[in-house]
């Protein structure tokens, strides 16, 4: 390792606010404090590990936002607060922020779907809230297909500081339960809400 390379490594270390004593201590621990080639290798390894660690720590953790869907003609506000509107099918998941994947608690979730007879009615509407860990759980019945559309459950999510979300969950035939996370996009400061389908 030539002197120019070593000087470059020293410059990198200075940029990371590390002291010579940091790598001197490592060199001493492995018994090469009197060997310049060994010391230079320690410096190079120290820089490499630091750069890798910094890169990993600075990498943003994000979640893909839940796909947007149409509200359809059968949405009605103020559904009763309850977690059961049928039997035989369990839908659960976590409400998260797309920015950093953190769970969002006390988020309002509205549900509506057709009943077993294939029509929309008040018995198959619900409002529920995510718990302290962002989780929600609904007990329902798997809705039959509606017209040419496959079985689906409408979901509207409303959370302060986040864009409104309307989406749909599609139960798979024969399944008794499913997990469906609801990932919300943060509102952009200084801009109107891009998605606010119910005027909130």
pLDDT at residue 79, rounded to an integer: 96
Question: Is residue 11 in some structural domain?
Answer: yes
Question: Is residue 65 in some structural domain?
Answer: no
Of 38-47, 134-143, 163-172, 176-185, the one with minimum mean pLDDT is 38-47
pLDDT level of residue 145 (50, 70, 90 thresholds): very high
Question: Is residue 13 in some structural domain?
Answer: yes
Specify whether 112 is located in the same domain as 36.
Answer: no
Question: Which parts of 115-161 are beta strand (E)?
Answer: 120-129, 135-140, 153-158
Question: Is residue 21 in some structural domain?
Answer: yes
Specify whether 98 is located in the same domain as 164.
Answer: yes
| More confidently predicted of 110 and 2 | 110
| More confidently predicted of 151 and 72 | 151
CA distance 43 to 182: 46
CA distance 186 to 99: 7
Specify the CATH number for the domain of residue 142: 2.60.130.10
Specify whether 31 is located in the same domain as 116.
Answer: no
Specify whether 140 is located in the same domain as 54.
Answer: no
Of 19-23, 82-86, 161-165, the one with minimum mean pLDDT is 19-23
Specify whether 105 is located in the same domain as 32.
Answer: no
pLDDT averaged over every residue in the chain: 80
Task: Please say if the pLDDT value at position 131 is more than 50.
Answer: yes
Mean pLDDT score, 96-103: 95
Specify whether 43 is located in the same domain as 118.
Answer: no
Most confident of 33-42, 63-72, 125-134: 125-134
Specify whether 52 is located in the same domain as 104.
Answer: no
Instruction: List the domain range (segments joined by +) for residue 30.
Output: 3-58
Question: Is residue 40 in some structural domain?
Answer: yes
Of 52-61, 75-84, 90-99, the one with minimum mean pLDDT is 52-61
Domain count, the chain: 2
Report pTM: 0.67
Specify whether 143 is located in the same domain as 99.
Answer: yes
């Amino acid at each position: 390792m030539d002197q120019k390379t070593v000087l470059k490594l020293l410059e990198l270390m200075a940029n990371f606010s590390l002291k010579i004593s940091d790598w001197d201590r490592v060199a001493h621990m492995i018994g090469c404090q009197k060997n310049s080639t060994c010391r230079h290798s320690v410096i190079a390894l120290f820089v490499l590990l630091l750069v890798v660690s910094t890169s990993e720590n600075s990498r943003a953790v994000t979640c893909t936002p839940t796909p947007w869907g149409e509200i359809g003609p059968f949405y009605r506000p103020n559904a009763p607060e309850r977690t059961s509107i049928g039997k035989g099918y369990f839908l659960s998941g976590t409400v998260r922020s797309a920015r950093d994947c953190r769970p969002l608690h006390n988020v309002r979730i509205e549900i509506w779907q057709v009943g077993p007879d294939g029509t929309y009615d008040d018995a198959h509407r619900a409002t529920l809230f995510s718990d302290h860990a962002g989780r929600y759980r609904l007990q329902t019945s798997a809705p039959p297909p509606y017209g040419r559309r496959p079985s689906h459950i409408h979901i509207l999510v409303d959370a302060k500081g986040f864009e409104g979300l309307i989406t749909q969950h599609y139960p798979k035939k024969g399944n008794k339960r499913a997990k469906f996370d609801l990932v919300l996009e943060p509102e952009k400061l200084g801009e109107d809400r891009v998605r606010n389908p119910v005027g909130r």
